[in-house]
A and B are shown apart, each in its own frame.
Chain A
Amino acid sequence: MGDLFTLPVLLGILYSGIRLATPYLYAAIGETFVQNSGIFNLGVEGIMLMGAYVGFFVGMTTGSLWLGLLGAALVGLLMGLLMAVVSVTFKAEQGISGIGLHLFGMGLSSLLFKKTLGGVESISGFQPIKIPLLGDIPLLGDVLFNHNLLVYVAFLLVPIAAFVLYKTTFGLKVRSVGQNPQAADSLGINVAQIRYTTVCIGGTLAGIAGASLSIALINLFQENMTNGMGFIAVALVYFGSWRPGGVLVGALIFSFVNALQLWIQVKGINLPSDLAVMMPYVLTILALAFAVRRARQPAALSKPFERGEN
Chain B
Amino acid sequence: MKSVLFRLSLLVVLAAVLVSGCAPAAAEPVTVEVTRVVEVEAAPVEVVVTATPAPVEEEIFRVAIVMPSSITDMAFSQSMYEGLLKVQAEMGGPEKMEIAYSEGMFKVPDAAAAIRDYASQGYNLVIAHGSQYGTSLAQIAPDFPETAFAWGTSLDTFQAQGITNVFAYQAEAQEGGYVLGTLAANMSASGVLGVSGPVEAGDAKLFVDGFKTGAMIAKPEAKVNISYTGSFSDVSLMAAAAETHIAAGADMLTGSSQSVVGAIGVAKEKGAKWFGAQWDQTNLAPDTVAASMVYDWTGVIKDMITSVKAGVMGGKAYTLTFKNKGLVIAYNPGVEIPADAKTAAEAAIQGIMDGTIAPLSGPKQ
Contact = CB atoms under 8 A, between A and B. Distances in A.
A and B touch in the complex (CB under 8 A): yes
Contacts of A99: 13
B273 to A, nearest CB: 16
Contacts of A175: none
A186 B15 CA distance: 36
A113 B231 CA distance: 21
Contacts, number: 191
Interface string A212-224: 0100011110111
Interface stretch (B46-54, B86-94, B129-137, B236-244): B236-244
A121 B241 CA distance: 20
B240 A227 contact: no
Contacts of B265: 122, 218-220
B70 interface: yes
Interface in B1-54: 1-2, 5-6, 8-10, 12-17, 19-24
A277 B1 CA distance: 50
A18 to B, nearest CB: 11
A276 B241 CA distance: 13
A155 B72 CA distance: 34
A75 B167 CA distance: 46
B247 interface: yes
Contacts of B292: none
A159 interface: no
Nearest to A52: B235
Contact of B104 (A110, A219, A225): A110
B326 interface: no
B245 interface: yes
Given A218-B235, A277-B228, A19 B240 contact: yes
A203 interface: no
B230 interface: yes
B248 A266 contact: yes
Of B19, B234, B239, B247, most buried by chain A (CB within 10 Å of CB) is B247
A9 B200 CA distance: 23
A96 B17 CA distance: 11
B212 to A, nearest CB: 11
Nearest to A127: B269
Given A121-B284, A225-B233, A218 B10 contact: no
A97 to B, nearest CB: 6
A86 B235 CA distance: 31
Contacts of B264: 122
Given A122-B284, A217-B239, A218-B239, 13 more contacts: A9-B248, A12-B248, A16-B247, A20-B236, A103-B21, A110-B24, A119-B74, A220-B261, A262-B241, A263-B244, A265-B226, A268-B226, A310-B1
Interface of A: 8-9, 11-12, 15-16, 19-20, 23, 82, 85-86, 89-92, 96-97, 99-101, 103-104, 106-108, 110-111, 113-114, 118-122, 213, 217-220, 222-227, 229, 258-259, 262-263, 265-268, 272-274, 276-278, 310
Interface of B: 1-2, 5-6, 8-10, 12-17, 19-24, 69-70, 72-74, 104, 194, 199-200, 225-231, 233-237, 239-241, 243-245, 247-248, 258-259, 261-262, 264-265, 268, 283-285
